[in-house]
Amino acid sequence: MGRDLFRPPDPLPVSEWAARFFHVDKTSRSPGLYDPTTTPLINAILDEYPDPNLTQIVLRASAQSSKTQPKSTAGPG
């Protein structure tokens, strides 16, 4: 048990991390803890962010379709 306390947690896909820890701001249509079932297509985009070979993500989407929150969830880039 002792050494397990200092072991880093297992890595999570970004979408799973967001579902557990990311709070959507109150200006959203669905404020509060991020719900991956609200915009399921965004999960695949979130999970691509950590890929070290990825240099660009291009989206073609309508206005107000969950594009700002994934960017802020995944961090700088």
| DSSP secondary structure letter of residue 4 | G
Per-residue pLDDT in tens (0 to 9) along the chain, 77 residues? 567 788 888 888 999 998 999 888 888 777 888 888 888 888 888 898 889 999 988 888 777 766 665 555 555 54
Looking at the structure of the chain, the number of domains it has is: 1
- Residue 60 pLDDT: 82
List the one residue out of 60, 20, 21, 22 whose CA is nearest residue 41. Answer: 60
- Residue 70 pLDDT: 55
Exposure class string for 14-31: b at 16+ Cβ within 10 A, else e: bbebbbeebebeeeeeee
Q: Which helix (H) or strand (E) holds 75?
A: none
- Residue 27 pLDDT: 80
Q: Which domain holds residue 45?
A: 9-74
Residue 1 lies in a domain: no
Residue 3 lies in a domain: no
- Residue 38 pLDDT: 83
Residue 4 lies in a domain: no
